[in-house]
Chain A
Amino acid sequence: MKRGLVVLDPAEIPEAEWRQRIDRVREQLGAEGVEVALVYGDVYRSDDIAYLSNLCIYWNEGMLAIPVDGEPALLTKLSPRVHTWMRRTSTLTDLRSGKAFGALVAALLDERRPGTLGIVDASLWPTALIDEVGAAAPGWVVRPLEGLVRQFRLQPSEPEKSLLRQAGAVLAEAATAADGLPGQEKISAAERVVRSGGFTDVLVRATPTSVEITGQYRNSWLRVARDASLAERLREAVSTVGDGVRTGAVRGARVVHHADLSTDGEYAGQSGDRVLNAGEVVVVAVEDGGAVAADTVLVTNSGTEVLTA
Chain B
Amino acid sequence: MTNDLQERDLRHRRVREGMAEAGLDLLLAFGPGWRRENVRYLADARVGGSAAFVALPATGDPVAYSTRRQDIPEITARGWVTDARFLDPAEPAGFVTGLRDSGARRVGIAHYELLPSMLLNLVREALPGAEIVSATAMLDNARLVKSEWELARMRRSAKVCAAGWRAFVDVLEPGLPEYRIVAAVEAEIKRLGAEDNFMLIASGKDEVRGMTPPSARLLETGDMVRTELTPQMDGYWLQICRSAVVGRASDAQKRSFDLFNEAVEAGMAVVKPGITAHEVAVAQNDVFRHHGYGEYCTSQYTRVRGHGHGLHLDETPIIEGNHTVLPENAVFIIHPNTYTPIAGYHVLGDPVRVTADGCEVLLETERKLFETNEVNA
A residues contacting B by CB (< 8 A) are 1-7, 42-45, 56, 58-59, 79, 81-82, 84-85, 89, 122-130, 184-185, 187-189, 191-192, 195-196, 198, 200, 202-205, 263-264, 266-267, 269-271
**Contact indicator per residue, chain B 174-203, by CB within 8 Å of chain A (1) or not (0):** 000011101110111011110011111000
Q: Please, how many angstroms separate the alpha-carbon atoms of A129 and B191 in the complex?
A: 39
Q: With A192-B187, A269-B89 in contact, is A124–B118 under 8 Å at CB?
A: yes
Q: Please, how many angstroms separate the alpha-carbon atoms of A185 and B181 in the complex?
A: 18
Asked if A2 and B213 make an inter-chain contact with CB atoms under 8 angstroms apart, the answer reads yes
Nearest CB in chain B: distance from A212 CB, A: 10
Q: With A4-B182, A84-B209 in contact, is A126–B191 under 8 Å at CB?
A: no
Q: Which of B310-344 contact A (CB under 8 A)?
A: none
Asked if B183 and A195 make an inter-chain contact with CB atoms under 8 angstroms apart, the answer reads yes
Asked if A43 and B34 make an inter-chain contact with CB atoms under 8 angstroms apart, the answer reads yes
Flag the segment in B253-261, B297-305, B346-354, B358-366 that touches A: B297-305
Does residue B214 face the partner (Cβ distance < 8 Å to A)?
Answer: yes
Name B117's contact: one of A85, A126, A205, A267 (CB within 8 Å): A126
A7 (CB) vs chain B CBs: closest residue? B216
Does residue B273 face the partner (Cβ distance < 8 Å to A)?
Answer: no
Name A191's contact: one of B67, B89, B186, B193 (CB within 8 Å): B186
Asked if B33 and A196 make an inter-chain contact with CB atoms under 8 angstroms apart, the answer reads no
Residues of B within 8 A of A130 (CB): 117
What's the dominant secondary structure at chain A's contact region? Answer: mixed
A183 (CB) vs chain B CBs: closest residue? B193
Asked if B215 and A7 make an inter-chain contact with CB atoms under 8 angstroms apart, the answer reads yes
Does residue B210 face the partner (Cβ distance < 8 Å to A)?
Answer: yes
Flag the segment in B107-115, B140-148, B368-376 that touches A: B107-115
Asked if B117 and A45 make an inter-chain contact with CB atoms under 8 angstroms apart, the answer reads no
Nearest CB in chain A: distance from B176 CB, A: 11
28 interchain pairs, CB-CB under 8 A: A3-B182, A3-B198, A3-B199, A3-B200, A5-B178, A5-B179, A5-B213, A5-B214, A44-B33, A79-B303, A84-B210, A85-B213, A126-B113, A184-B190, A184-B193, A185-B191, A188-B191, A189-B187, A191-B183, A192-B183, A195-B179, A195-B187, A203-B48, A264-B68, A266-B49, A266-B67, A267-B50, A271-B90
Does residue B32 face the partner (Cβ distance < 8 Å to A)?
Answer: yes
Q: Which of B256-301 contact A (CB under 8 A)?
A: 299-301
Does residue B20 face the partner (Cβ distance < 8 Å to A)?
Answer: no
Q: Please, how many angstroms separate the alpha-carbon atoms of A79 and B193 in the complex?
A: 34
Q: Please, how many angstroms separate the alpha-carbon atoms of A45 and B34 in the complex?
A: 9
Q: Of B191, B193, B200, which is in contact with the most chain A CB atoms at under 10 Å from its CB?
A: B191
Q: Please, how many angstroms separate the alpha-carbon atoms of A185 and B301 in the complex?
A: 40
